[in-house]
Structure 1
């Protein structure tokens, strides 16, 4: 891996020398660790993701809820029909927060690899936005007696939710829930 980084670094330096404006290559290629953040003992972790076969194709979503120490509590996935990926990502967050509320969890750290969704939920959405209704449903949960923090996570750190979202592509419009992680593994 170090030789690959050195090769890329060398090629990047040559490119910047040829076209000017040469920034520090070490700054650009600084490796970043993808780590899982956890809260205190009363915090539940919600990871969500959407999956699409194509833009305006079949989409699904999935997610998992775990305790602050990483112990799996619940996995979920569903197909939502023919939409775009943004719809699946928003739907995943809404259903995930809803399931946490129904289970009585009051403090959540939510992770989505869709920066767009994190930004939409973190700002005032125009009422004529295409997904204003689902975003309003999320806002309704955020207004309840619930502490929710929503973070953007790199795709590499959200791989478990990605697997469940891909399962969502395979089912037929049924919200599937499992408290049994080995059962989810056997679906493959």
Structure 2
């Protein structure tokens, strides 16, 4: 198995493991004779959501916010929910959307960006990925330093305000 494919598979398996472990940790498993009774169903028909990706939050090596975007996009597809999911990367989380060369320089490593396959997968699921211009300026990054398809907004804080004014719900993983 070639190294990039192996890395991608490890990240995808990590996503699956995180999803299963998050479900398992959410509540103790009911006894077989005691099924779960849902008191408050949540039948979403439409939801516009923005993920504020301004800090590092991980389970193992997997970014929690990226996993939540993935799980939400899967629910949209499964339950035919309309709406948009946007991930706004900035501050301490800005480096996660850099291409391999820029990632290596920013993180002082020679591994390439391990989040690139996850970002590509999120984009395939319809998640819009944005990077903050202010964070880019602070780090002397240009558009060419970003992963393919990452959009640059005029400033993350203003963008979050704008999206909330448009009715988006902000998730802070």
- TM class, shorter-chain normalised? 0.3 to 0.5
Q: Rg bigger for which structure?
A: 1
Higher helix share: 2
